[in-house]
Amino acid sequence: MKVIYILWLRQLKRYIRSKARIIGSLGQPLLFLVALGFGFGPIFQKAGQGNYIQFLAPGIIAMSIIFTAMFSGIEIIWDRQFGFLKETLVAPVSRLKIMVGRTLGGATVAVLQGIVVLLISLIAGFRPTNIPMIPLALVFMILVAILFTAIGTAIASLLDDMQGFHLIMTFVVMPVFFLSGALFPLDGLPRGVSIVASMNPLSYGVDGLRGTLIGVAHFGLATDLAVLIAVTAAFVAIGSYLFSKIQI
């Protein structure tokens, strides 16, 4: 447990010390929230869907979490190139503990990022309609953060250079985000898009956040929670296996 705590604390300190990283990681969520929220708000309202900021904010919170969580995997490549990873892996502790510590650290950073975006959303006009459900919303944020940190770790464990990581992130993160229902309702979609969205784990994270914060859920909160727990457990196991196979 001490190793897990040390690695968790290391990830957290990296985040707190990097003011540029904090500011930079908030740029894209803010752009989406302001540009889309106020730009498409009147159109969304005319279509009879209500306040777009209310609908959009949970999706933007999820976006900030997955971007931060996935790109925490870059640190594995960075540490490998500069020799820090070798020093960690040769320590007399299991690689499973190392992976769990890094994953929890990256997930904690991602959740903090999500909470910051939630606070900014409140300033922009977002208002949660079910305050007692906010602790459950935090559970969804934690599950999404752990899931995508594990995915980022798994991908980074297979790569040796940052260029390849960025390429894969482009083909993973953006489609996962845009097909999650973060920006548009999942009701009434073409059958093909609806099937893809239902296979996207982030869809259940966004739906869970939306259900807990504004009381609107497409799949249902029980389904969202069950799917996220199962998929998160699976990817943590996959990430742990791939991390254990890293050659130093």
**The dihedral of CA 159, 240, 81, 108: what is its sign?**
positive
Give dist(CA 56, CA 121) in Å, integer: 9
Q: Would you state the pLDDT for residue 228?
A: 95
pLDDT in tens, the chain (248 residues): 665 666 656 666 666 555 555 666 677 777 778 777 777 666 766 655 677 888 888 999 998 898 888 877 777 777 776 666 666 666 666 767 777 777 888 888 889 889 988 988 888 888 888 888 999 999 999 999 999 988 888 888 787 776 776 777 677 888 888 888 888 888 878 888 889 889 999 999 999 999 999 988 888 899 999 999 999 999 998 988 887 777 66
Q: What DSSP state is assigned to residue 48?
A: T
How many whole angstroms separate alpha carbon 226 and alpha carbon 157?
Answer: 27
d(CA 203, CA 230): 14
Q: Supply the pLDDT for residue 38.
A: 72
Taking the model in full, what pTM does it have? 0.87
- C-alpha span between 118 and 136 (Å, rounded): 14
Question: Given this model, what pLDDT does residue 32 score?
Answer: 77
Q: For residue 153, give the nearest of 108, 203, 205, 100 by alpha carbon.
A: 100
Q: How far is CA 218 from CA 97, 192, 197, 198, 203, in A?
A: 37, 17, 11, 10, 9
Output DSSP code: residue 33. Answer: I
Report pLDDT for 221: 92
